[in-house]
């Protein structure tokens, strides 16, 4: 079922990082000794399950700092929204790709074990497998004035991460449908489930955070330093 050359990872690095702020989009900030987006590229480079990488970047030139990635087959310019960037990445997939992992470059703590468990979980009757973690905090609906309006059940509610693994065809079909139904979904799995495909949740990694706001940068740095300190360099 899988292409012998492995899955292709689409790395999304074309956002502008509004919530983090600053002049430089967050994926190009220095983090634990290298640009943030290079952390996930290094992990995909060392993952046996990944055969190739398509990097979706902004139109401005960016600094590779001399890094070489043998698996990066294409660098394409992204779109206005995340899903447009996914679509542009899909258009550049190497021939023969059957399994696609879509990953946010803003998640530098992805690791080889997580990639492996997603690829293992991607099998019929499922069209996709995504990592997530169950919610632990109490969840409230809050009015514009700050008053709590209702307590929401967190029973069976999960937070979703990337990378998200899909068979290529359902992902392509869902993207086309999403243009009409849901132009800017928060993640790819939502496009698939809304198009009627089946997506499975697998245990993610609590440390696989997305750098979104300034405090996340500091946390990611601490986690990366701790990972580097531990023998083997994988996970905490």
Residue closer to ligand CTP, measured from CB, 104 or 205 = 104
With CB under 6 A as the contact rule, the residue among 46, 190, 193, 212 that binds ligand CTP is 212
Q: Smallest distance, Å, CB 78 to ligand CTP?
A: 4
State both tokens at 75: 């660098």
> Would you say 192 and 174 are in contact if contact means Cβ atoms under 8 Å apart?
yes
Residue closer to ligand CTP, measured from CB, 104 or 127 = 104
Which stretch in 93-101, 102-110, 120-128, 190-198 sits in contact with ligand CTP by CB under 6 A?
102-110
| Peptide bond connecting 125 to the previous residue in cis, omega within 30 degrees of 0 | yes
What span, in angstroms and rounded, lies between the C-alpha atoms of 47 and 69?
A: 13
Buried b (16+ CB within 10 A) or exposed e, 6-38: bbbbbbbbbbebeebeeeebbbbeebeeebbbb
19 near ligand CTP (CB under 6 A): yes
Residue closer to ligand CTP, measured from CB, 7 or 54 = 54
> Which residues in 42-81 contact ligand CTP (CB under 6 A)?
56, 78-81
> Distance of CA 119 to CAs 58, 74, 127, 236, Å?
28, 22, 11, 21
Residue closer to ligand CTP, measured from CB, 126 or 205 = 205
With CB under 6 A as the contact rule, the residue among 85, 161, 164, 208 that binds ligand CTP is 85
Please state, as a whole number, how many other Cβ atoms lie within 10 Å of the Cβ of residue 192. 27
> Which residues in 104-133 contact ligand CTP (CB under 6 A)?
104-106
Is residue 226 within a helix (H) or strand (E), and if so which, with residue range? helix 214-229
Residues forming contacts to ligand CTP in the complex (CB under 6 A) are 12-19, 27, 56, 78-82, 85, 104-106, 210, 212
């Amino acid at each position: 079922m899988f292409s012998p050359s492995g899955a292709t990872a689409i790395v999304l690095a074309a956002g502008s990082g509004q919530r983090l702020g600053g002049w430089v989009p967050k994926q190009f900030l220095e983090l634990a000794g290298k640009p943030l987006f290079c952390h996930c590229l290094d992990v995909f480079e060392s993952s046996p399950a990944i055969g190739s990488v398509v990097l979706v970047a902004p139109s401005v030139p960016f600094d590779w700092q001399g890094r070489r990635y043998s698996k990066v087959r294409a660098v394409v310019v992204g779109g206005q929204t995340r899903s447009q960037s996914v679509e542009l990445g899909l258009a550049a997939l190497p021939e023969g790709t059957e399994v696609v992992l879509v990953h946010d470059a803003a998640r530098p703590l992805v690791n080889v074990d997580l990639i492996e468990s997603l690829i293992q979980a991607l099998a019929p009757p499922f069209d996709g497998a995504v990592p997530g973690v169950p919610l632990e905090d109490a969840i409230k609906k809050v009015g514009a004035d700050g008053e709590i309006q209702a307590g929401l059940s967190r029973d069976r509610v999960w937070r979703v991460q990337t990378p998200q693994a899909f068979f290529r065809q359902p992902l392509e079909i869902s993207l086309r449908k999403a243009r009409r139904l849901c132009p800017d979904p928060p993640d790819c799995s939502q496009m698939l489930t809304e198009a009627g495909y089946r997506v499975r949740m697998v245990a993610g990694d609590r440390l696989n955070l997305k750098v979104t706001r300034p405090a996340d940068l500091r946390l990611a740095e601490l986690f990366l330093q701790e990972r580097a300190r531990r023998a083997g360099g994988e996970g905490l």
